[in-house]
Amino acid sequence: MKRALTLILVLLGVAGITRSQPSFPDNGQLYVDTVVPAVFIEIHPDTLAWIYANPYSDREFRAVFVFDNGTVRDTIYPVGFRLRGNTSRSSKKKSFKVSFNTFTPGGKYFGVEKMNLNGEHNDPSVMRSKIMWDILRQWNIPAPRANHVRVYINGNYYGLYINVEHIDEEFALSRFGNKDGNLFKCLYPADLTYIGPDSDSYKLWNGTRWTYELITKVEENDFSDLGELIGILNNTEDANLICELDRVFNVQDYLKMMAAQIFCGDWDGYIYNKNNFYLYHNTLTGRFEYIPYDVDNTFGIDWFGINWTVRNIYEWQPGGDQQRPLYDRIIHNPVLRKQFSFYARQLIESTLDIDSLIQAIEERKEMISPYVMNDPWYPLDYGYDHTDFLNSFSSAAGAHVKWGLYPYLQVRKASMAAQIEEGDADPVIKYFSHTRKSGNPIRVSCIVEAATPPVTAKLIYSVAEGSALEAVMYDEGNGIFSVTVSGISDEDPVTYQVLAAGGSGGTTLLPCYPILIAPVAGQTPLLFINEFMADNEETVTDEQGYYSDWIEIYNGDAAPVYLGDLYLTDNFNDPLKWRMPGTVLPAGGFILLWADGMPGPGERHAPFRLDKDGEEIGIYTRYKLLVDTVSFGLQQEDVSMGRKSDGADEIVFLAVATPGKSNSTTPVYEIEEAGTLIVYPNPVSGETLRLSEPTDCRVYNSSGVLLYSGTEVTEIDVSAFPAGLYILVTGDGRGIRFVKAGK
């Protein structure tokens, strides 16, 4: 007996975006930049004195936080409060971090968990980082939001600060639509040079901190994706670089980032100082995203005796044997070098109007000027006064401030324009997306950019691994090309690439490895995630004698099932995360798999662990058709969860764990403890989704649209929900994903 499924799994690539354009949330109340909001901190004076006496401590203390922008005024207690920064901790004017989730688990303020209040003590204009953040956002590069704020501590004015959005999993979710990938904070000396094949060798300690610090998924501590990226950067032959790098890294957006950093004179990032950037492994695309960080050393600030306004844009890295493989490989690749040149020209000739930018800076200068004049900490590091502030826009301030802002912008634009090499780049193709719904045509779109019109594009595709077909893509304007293809069975997989041509004759075929549009219907084996344990302390050991998380798979089919063609995952956005062992599971049989994050010990060891605070498990075919999924909440030590009887819909806590054996005669726990919410059946194919306990909850679809809200709910009517992936959010902020199967 097989399952016949018709699923529309938007987040899994069956219908939806595969290499999506990033999102850009508006400034909202927290980052409004048409006024200068006030931030008030109340903290015990002795605690504040201790913080200043121990500037390199990251210990957080309880404080009262008040935010007032003239429209909203909110008070929050407790928040975490501490100093932040690296070299700035030794400055007189400190920078601060405010955390809304340290003492209130899950706490957020206007959707963010932390605030970075930067003192900008190096910059007499208190403007440089704000300008660069604005340029990046104007150019559709994922970058933090920022605004100027006034900071008061215990009623005393501490001066004008820049409030910069914190880069964490919430930032990733707001920009890329997912937050379950690895996020690495990369600080000096993060040069991305190759150390060796062992990914653990990149767990480098530098002084008091990590060079590559894993911010998310800390418990798994898995550096394999970073190791793969670094290996490709350093070891791939020139002829294969574009294809291999594009597979694991968002090259096109990084080319734009390179051009922007070089224009702004940002020497304290990756290319020159191997410092201050994040790498986020976007689980929706499978590729790393580059995110800049701390951009105050820009627009003519210099500590090296280098004139950044005229430095060669193709030789931005330091000289000698200092390696910067990400920049070096790109800038010496003929195709990518021309595409970088294309973006550099686009930035200074069309994206940025220097006169308009200067006018906007003037308006902001007038707005913040009174708050600089009264800033008691502003003069303490370099002796600046209000006159220095006013003059810094048009003149150098001496010492490390070698240029006024306006002369820098004008000279840098002119020198960059003179340096850009002649010759048209091959067309740039990016942001591939596709939509597939049962019984409907397939739609594919992408963005194509070329220096010389006319620009054309066509879809190169195959159905069910057949011969290559072509379809002309329609130019919708703004660089968007799309095509709709009809007459394809719901059960047939489709793969595609896009071939684009520019007016100068250059062509580009991307991606190098065709994108799969998975079928939305077909037969799948009747396998079940029958039982699992996410906190195994002393229940059962693996063959090495270790107590590891485990998952039991049950074959409820009438025929044996070969597992080697199926995949197990703990992330619905990455359904092909781990190919299961090449074992035939007999009808009615069980197999125990170890979720220990260590595939080395044997083929039954998955490269991920289970989160005892709750997550998800899924089985998928190679075409990403869903076989079975389970979503779960908080787990108990040495207590397994499983189906009430083998293959049943209802999932319960089992009184006695039965790893590798039948659940059918096992007693179950009554679920009473808070935090153990289960939704079932999952996937739900009928009209009713059940909850294991009365719960206040809301249900959103994968686009974030609210579909249902209820109080003390035990059942939800989902009969009107289209097939797809949904998020159930409880009143206390827990989120559980479930799938509505098609008819």
pLDDT at residue 671 greater than cutoff 50? no
Q: How do beta strands 626-632 and 641-643 pair? A: unpaired
Residue ending a domain, choose from 484, 517, 550: 517
Best CA proximity match to 606, nearest among 643, 561, 574, 560: 574
Q: pLDDT value at position 520? A: 86
Among 401, 419, 437, identify where a domain stops.
419
Quote the longest CA-to-CA distance of the chain.
Answer: 84
pLDDT at 666: 52
In a domain, 702, yes or no: yes
Same domain, 403 and 482: no
Q: pLDDT band at 13, cuts 50/70/90?
A: very low
**Are 139 and 261 in a shared domain?**
yes
> Quick one: 370 and 401 in the same domain?
yes
What would the pLDDT profile of 303-343 be if each residue is shown by its tens digit? 999 999 999 999 999 987 789 999 999 999 999 999 999 99
State the pLDDT confidence band at 632, using cuts at 50, 70 and 90: confident
CA distances from 661 to 213, 545, 552, 592 (A): 41, 19, 9, 9
Is the CB of residue 226 less than 8 Å from the CB of residue 184?
yes
Mean pLDDT of all residues in 91-109: 95
Q: Has residue 655 got a pLDDT over 90? A: no
Same domain, 150 and 118: yes
Any domain includes 29: no
Determine the Cα–Cα distance for residues 206 and 204; give it in Å rounded to an integer: 6
Q: Are 468 and 355 within one domain?
A: no
From the list 132, 126, 149, the residue with the least C-alpha distance to 30 is 149
pLDDT above 60 for 409: yes
Q: Residues 63, 40: contact at Cβ < 8 Å?
A: no
154 domain-assigned = yes
CATH number of the domain encompassing residue 467 = 2.60.40.10
Average pLDDT, the chain: 91
pLDDT for 47 beyond 80: yes
For residues 411 and 435, membership in a common domain is answered with no
Q: Indicate whether 341 and 459 sit together in one domain.
A: no
| Cα separation, 369 vs 390, whole angstroms | 8
What pLDDT shows up at residue 2?
67
CATH code of the domain in which 660 resides: 2.60.40.1260
648 and 674 housed in the same domain: yes
**Position 26 in a domain:** no
d(CA 166, CA 82): 14
Amino acid at 733: G
Single out the residue in 492, 517, 542 at which a domain terminates. Answer: 517
Amino acid at 430: K
The token pair that represents 728 in the structure block: 């159930």
Which residue, among 124, 115, 119, has the nearest Cα to 144 in the 3D structure? 115
The answer to the question of residue 424 being in a domain is: no
Are 117 and 168 in the same domain?
A: yes
Instruction: Report the domain count for the chain.
Output: 3
What are the backbone angles phi and psi of residue 203, rounded to the nearest 5°?
A: -85, 75
Mention every residue, 6+ apart, whose C-beta is less than 8 A from residue 388: 124, 397
673 vs 16: which has the higher pLDDT: 16
Domain membership flag for residue 30: no
Angle at 454 between CA 449 and CA 455, to 5 degrees: 35
Q: Given strand 626-632, what is the order of strands in its sheet?
A: 578-579, 566-569, 615-621, 626-632
Determine, yes or no, domain membership for 721. Answer: yes
pLDDT reading at 6 higher than 60: no
Q: Write out the two tokens for 189.
A: 């000396």
Per-residue model confidence (pLDDT) at position 699: 87
Helix (H, G, I), strand (E, B) or coil at 407: helix
The reply to whether 27 falls in a domain is no
* Pair 542, 665 in one domain: yes
- pLDDT-derived band at 388, boundaries 50, 70, 90: very high
Burial 666-703 (b: 16+ CB within 10 A, else e): bebeeeeeeebbbbbbbbbeeeebbbbbebebbbbbbe
Segment 15-33 shows an average pLDDT of 81
| Residue 386 and residue 296 in one domain | yes
Residue 81 has pLDDT above 90, yes or no: yes
Residue 9 pLDDT: 40
Rounded Cα distance between 724 and 701, Å, is 8
Q: Cβ-count burial of 486 within 10 angstroms (0-12 exposed, 13-18 middle, 19+ buried)?
A: exposed
pLDDT above 90 (res 521): no
Is pLDDT above 90 for 463? yes
Quick one: tokens of 119? 């003192």
Domain of residue 503: give its range: 11-20+429-517
| Distance separating alpha carbons of residues 226 and 236, to the nearest angstrom | 15
- Whether 142 and 192 map to the same domain: the answer is yes
| Tokens 């009517």 sit on residue | 717
